Amino acid sequence: MLVGCYLRVSTIDQAEEGYSIEQQKDKLKQYCSVKDWNVYKFYVDAGFSGSNINRPAMQELIEDVNNNKIGTILVYKLDRLSRSQKDTLYLIEDVFNKHKVSFVSLNENFDTSTAFGKASIGILATFAQLEREQIKERMQMGKMGRAKTGKAMNWWNPAFGYIYNRETYDIDQFKADIVKRIYKDYLSGTSINKIAENLNSEGHLGKDRQWSFRTVRMILANSDYTGNVKYHGKIYAGQHTPIIDQKAFETTQKELKIRQQEAYSKNNNPRPFQSKYILSGLLECKYCSCNLALVQYRPRKDGTHLSVYKCPSTMRKKMFTQRQLSNCISKTQERQMLEEYVIKEISKLQANTDKIELMSSSKVVDVDAYEIELEKIEKSLKKLVNIYVDTDSLTIDIFNEKKEALLSQKNAINKKIQSIKKKQPELSIKDAKKVLRGINGNITRASYDTKYKIVRKLIKKIIVGNEESTIKWAFEL
C-alpha cells in the first residue's frame, strides 16, 4: 500500500513538544514500518496555519489523491490536517472517500476504513475547530492586553516618526519634525495636496517614496501621535512619547471634517449625503408613495426664497410615465409650513412624554430568555459529545438522534429571536423619552441644527397628503 504522509507545523506549534516536522516524520516512519506500508511521499507544510487548506503541500496532496497515486493518508494528529471542522470533513468526505483513500491519524488511533473511525471523525473535527477558536480568542485577548497596558500595536509598521523598540515606540527626531510640520502647515490653512507637493519638492526626505494625498491624510488622522494606542476603535493611553499634543490633534480632526464638507459642497458630490433641511428624505407622497422632492424658486424681492416640496410624479420629466402623471393628485407643499407642523407635533410629545406609550402600537419583547435557552442548548451539546467520547453508553445512532434534536431546537430559537428583532420599532419608548427630555427648552425655540437632529432620531417617515399629513414615529411599528 502506498501511503502519503502529511506533516504540518505552524509558528505556534514549533515550540510545543511533539509537533516539530522531524518528530512527526519519525513517528510516521515507525508506524509505516510496523504496518509494512510503503511511503509514497512526505507532504510537508512548514509554518502554515491550519485554518484553511490553501497550503502548497496540501494542494499537492489533493492533486495526487485525485490522480489515484495514494491509497492511504497518514497524519500524526488530526489537527495537522486542519483545524477547521468544515475543511476536515471536506477533505475526508469529498476528496479522500471519493477516491476510496483511507485516512489514518496516528495520535487518535483511528482510520476511516473502519465504522468507528467514520463515526469519530465528525466529533474529533469539532474539537479541532474548538481548539482553533480558543487560540483565536487567546490571541485577541493578548492584543487587548497589549492595548490596555499601552504597548505598541503596530510593531510591524510603526507610524512615520516612530521606531519600534521593546514593546513601545521611540521617536525618530528627524521624521518627527516632519510630522509636526505637516500638522502646523495644515492648521495654518495649507491643503493636503499642497503639503505633499512641498515635501516632494524638497526630495521627500525621510521616505523612500513620494508623498501623496493619502499618506499625508493618514498622518493627520493617526491618534498614535498623541501618545495613545488604538485597538478595535477604542483609544488607550500609550507608553510612548507624543509628537503632537492632544489639543492640536483634536483641532485637526475638526478641520478635516470642515474641509471635507466644503469639498463635497464645492464639487456637488452627493457622497456622503447630508441633507440641508430637516425633512429631506423623510417625506412620502400619500397617493403614489414617491419621495417628495424639494424645489427652490428664485429669490423674492425681499431676498427670501420660496421652497416647496413636490411629488416627482407630478413633474413633467422623462423619467416618469404618463400613468404616473395622470394618477397622482398630490399638491405642492411649502417647506416652512411642513417643518412647522412637524416641530409642533414633537413639541406636543415633549410636553407629555407619557403619550408615547399610548401611541406605540408594540411592546418590546425581551429576547434575554431566548438567549439563556440557547446557552443551555450549547451546554447540552457539549455534554452529549463528552458522554459519547468518554463512555460507551451511547451508540452513534442515538448520539446523532439527540444531537439533531438539540440542533433543531437551537435553529428554532434563533429564528424566533430574529423574528422578534424584526418586529421591534427602530427606537424604544425609553430612548424616545430620553431624546425628548434631553432637549434644552421647548423645541420650537431650538436652533435649526438641533431640530434637524431631533427629527432624525424620532421620525421614520412622514406621509404627506393634500389635506393632512401623518407622522410615522421611530418608536412605532
- How do residues 196-220 score in pLDDT, each as one tens digit? 999 999 888 888 889 999 999 999 9
pLDDT at 392 over 70: no
d(CA 143, CA 438): 38
HSE toward the beta carbon, residue 333, CA cutoff 13 A = 30
Q: What is the pLDDT, as a whole number, of residue 11?
A: 65
Residue 320 has pLDDT above 50, yes or no: no
Distance CA 73, CA 81 (A): 10
As a whole-number percent, the residues of the chain with pLDDT over 70 amount to 83
Measured distance CA(57)–CA(44) in Å, rounded: 6
Which one is catalytic: 10, 102, 313, 330? 10
pLDDT at position 305: 65
Segment holding 181, helix H or strand E: helix 173-187
Q: Quick one: pLDDT at residue 321?
A: 42
Residue position matching grid coordinates 425633512? 279
**For this structure, is 408 an active site residue?**
no
Confidence band of 462 (pLDDT split at 50, 70, 90): very high
Torsion sign (Cα): 337, 341, 346, 352: positive
Per-residue confidence (pLDDT) for residue 182, from 0 to 100: 95
Q: How confident is the model at residue 160 (pLDDT cuts 50, 70, 90)?
A: very high
Highest mean pLDDT among 249-253, 267-271, 297-301: 249-253
Interacting residues of 362 by C-beta distance below 8 A, sequence separation 6+: 423, 424, 425, 476, 477
Residue 226 is given by DSSP the state: G
Query: Cα-atom radius of gyration of the chain, to the nearest Å?
Result: 33
- Three-state secondary-structure class, residue 325: helix
Q: How far is CA 425 from CA 362, 366, 420, 432, in A?
A: 8, 13, 10, 11
- Residue 408 is predicted with a pLDDT of 84
Q: What pLDDT score does 37 carry?
A: 93
Is 190 or 125 the better-scoring residue by pLDDT? Answer: 190
* CA 385 to chain centroid: 32
**Fold entry, domain 162-266:** Hect, E3 ligase catalytic domain fold (3.90.1750)
Say whether domain 2-143 belongs to CATH 3.40.50.1390: yes
Question: pLDDT category, 76, cuts 50, 70, 90?
Answer: very high
Residue 120 has what pLDDT? 66
Which of these ranges, 72-86, 269-283, 286-300, has the smallest mean pLDDT?
269-283
Least confident range of 86-100, 140-154, 310-324, 424-438: 310-324
- Range in 14-23, 66-75, 104-113, 159-168 with the lowest mean pLDDT: 14-23
pLDDT of residue 228: 92
Q: Of the ranges 18-22, 157-161, 328-332, 408-412, which one carries the lowest mean pLDDT score?
A: 18-22
Place of cell 471635507: 260
CA separation (Å) from 363 to 153, 418, 423, 472?
A: 45, 16, 10, 16
Average pLDDT over all residues of the chain? 82
Confidence band for 323, pLDDT divided at 50, 70 and 90: very low
* Band of residue 387 on the pLDDT scale cut at 50, 70, 90: confident
Give the pLDDT band of residue 50 (cuts 50, 70, 90).
confident
pLDDT of amino acid 322: 42
State the DSSP H helix or E strand holding residue 73, giving kind and residue range, or none if neither. Answer: strand 72-75
pLDDT confidence of residue 395: 74
Rounded percentage of the chain residues whose pLDDT exceeds 90: 35
Q: Is 149 left (phi over 0), alpha (psi -120 to 50) or beta?
A: alpha
pLDDT value, residue 203: 86
pLDDT band per the 50, 70, 90 thresholds, residue 273: very low
Report which secondary-structure segment, H or E, holds 44.
Answer: strand 38-46
**pLDDT of 114 strictly over 80:** no
pLDDT level of residue 339 (50, 70, 90 thresholds): very high
Q: How confident is the model at residue 15 (pLDDT cuts 50, 70, 90)?
A: very low
229, 153 in Cβ contact below 8 A?
yes
Q: Higher model confidence: residue 389 or residue 219?
A: 219
Which whole number is the average pLDDT over 151-180?
A: 90
Inform me whether the pLDDT recorded for 193 exceeds 80.
yes
**What's the pLDDT score for residue 152?**
86
Separation between Cα atoms, residue 83 and residue 127, nearest integer Å: 9
